[in-house]
Amino acid sequence: MSLARTMLCKTKQRWPSGFMCRFLSAAEVSTALRPFYFSVHPDLFGKYPEQRKINENSLQQLSAVLEAQQSRKRINISSLPFYLRQKDMPEGAFKLVNIPLNGSTVRETVVKVLCACEMSTTYVDKIPKDTRLPNTSQYNFTKTYDDYSNEFEKVAHMKRKVQEKKAINNLEEWLFTNSGLAKEKYESARATRDQVQSLIDKLCKNYGIKEVKYDRGWNISHIRGALQSLVSLAIQHPAVMGNLKDRTIALGQFTGVSLDGDVFLNIMDVRNEWLSLIKKVSQEDSALLKIPNYEKTLSSILRDIHICRRKFMPKVSAAQYCNHLRQLITSIGDFYGKGCKFPASIPESLNKYEIVVEPEAGPLMVSPTGQFITPSSCPAEELVAYIAKHLDLATQLMTEYSINKHVERALHKEVKERFGLLDLQKDDSITPGLMISCCQRLLTRSPALSEKLQGNRLYITHYYSVLSEGILCIPWNFKS
């Protein structure tokens, strides 16, 4: 066991006056976590959307935890799942680790990450702990990861150059090779799908649960395992299951009550976490009652802008969302308190626009649908300036979306019917405009593709792949 890991188990020591256990700098964190990033970076999982999505979400939350600890704040995230890509494992096989985040300092969190992944902590061990408190206000761990990602992208760019030479020539050839394989995989997973449905029916019938749903990004085997655990928990604790009567249960990436009132159970959590939530689910509901007032307050101080939620926003509990709204309301209140004003370029009413408030580590951006997306930690001055600068862009994107969504819906239906698809879905990053382009190109090639797509499930994304459940993934801009 390394020195750093041993120190975590000891009683906290007293430090001499003027000294304390210092934070790791941004450069030190970047260096310490370098091998970890090389094992979990989303770019390594291009053909595996389930693992890529989980690692992207977990990395974002890890950055938020590090920034909060650096600021002596605390984010209530008990653990994070990561898929590790290791050299000694075959293609498509990954190690899943669940990293505990119960450390109180940046150093402890970094060590826990490395230890959970069985990586060396020697570099961290050599960094002295007893030093005068440095000025850490400039450290930005999200930026640290972004800087590292830029370095990683240089390596990835060279890799893509090689892969381009092996690129698939056209969609028809690829479907000729893989459509049969996809159907075989879909049939082989039939028994698992039937088991999943049987478990869902059992839960709904025995405990009055309204609905059980799950994130389609998870492997169906993971869903079956989670449902088996929930059934076992229900049998052992039948009394508390009455709390779930007429509720919707969702298996996802956090444990808590969602903004829609659904009871979310994190597939990666132990059953005790689920049991704890089910026992106090009515208490969690109290946060739902506060949300309308918080959203109304935020809207009023942002010139009546509509507070919305986007379809694919990061999943958070109602309690967390309340905290995010309160944090942004406080920031804007301070903005007014300092005598600051909105620029003259911002109209007196923003009721034609929409804004979405997301976790601290989220982006500040305009979404493809024209919504303003802001992290709750965004300073009011920066948010107001951003809105002023991007009103025209938001208006343009809203107009395009209002037209495109109807066109996309019609084309989606036509493609599904024309090719006899069992299902047609798209990645979160595929905008209506890109989906329209893809559907139009598919329809112009219907005679050549019809036989191969018949009876398959198609997923529009950025790459070619056949998933374990028999889903055909194709890029929206596929080659002819």
For range 448-477, the mean pLDDT: 90
Rounded Cα distance between 190 and 193, Å, is 5
Residues 6 or more apart in contact with residue 239 via CB below 8 angstroms: none
- Per cent of the chain over pLDDT 70 is 84
Report pLDDT for 139. Answer: 47
Q: Is the pLDDT of residue 308 over 80?
A: yes
Cα gap 480→468, rounded to integer Å: 26
pLDDT at 262 over 80: yes
> Average of pLDDT values for 169-179?
88
Give residue 3's pLDDT.
34
- Which DSSP string corresponds to 218-268? S-HHHHHHHHHHHHHHHHH-TTGGGGGTT-EEEEES--EEBTTS-EEEETT
pLDDT at position 138 is: 44
pLDDT score of 55: 86
Q: Which of 144-148, 193-197, 382-386 has the lowest mean pLDDT?
A: 144-148
Residue 433 token pair: 């405009």
Predicted confidence at residue 123, as pLDDT, reads 83
What band does 32 get if pLDDT is binned at 50, 70 and 90? Answer: confident
Q: Could you tell me the pLDDT band of residue 12, with boundaries at 50, 70 and 90?
A: very low
pLDDT for the residue 128: 76
154-163, 216-225, 323-332, 397-406: range with highest mean pLDDT:
323-332
pLDDT(135) > 70: no
pLDDT band of residue 140 (cuts 50, 70, 90) is: low
What is the band of 19 on the pLDDT scale with cuts at 50, 70, 90? very low
Per-residue pLDDT band for 392 (boundaries 50, 70, 90) equals: very high
Nearest to 260 by CA among 218, 213, 204: 213
| pLDDT the model gives residue 31 | 76
Over residues 201-215, mean pLDDT: 93
Residue 87 has pLDDT above 80, yes or no: no
Summarize the confidence of residues 310-325 as an average pLDDT. Answer: 80
CA distance 2 to 125: 8
pLDDT of residue 9: 35
Please tell me which residue, 401 or 6, carries the higher pLDDT value: 401
- pLDDT value of residue 248: 95
Look at phi and psi of residue 238 and say left if phi exceeds 0, alpha if psi is from -120 to 50, else beta. Answer: alpha
pLDDT-derived band of residue 4, with 50, 70 and 90 as boundaries? very low
pLDDT at 296 over 60: yes
Greater confidence (414 vs 252) lies with 414
What pTM does this model have? 0.60
Query: In the chain, what percentage of residues exceed pLDDT 90?
Result: 43
> 33-47, 342-356, 462-476: which has the minimum mean pLDDT?
33-47
Cα angle 111, 112, 114; round to 5? 65
Q: Where are the beta strands (DSSP E) in 275-422?
A: 306-308, 354-358, 365-366, 372-375
Quick one: average pLDDT of 219-230? 89
Among 280, 264, 327, 262, which Cα is nearest to 75's? 327
Tell how far CA 392 is from the center of its chain: 29
pLDDT at 157: 54
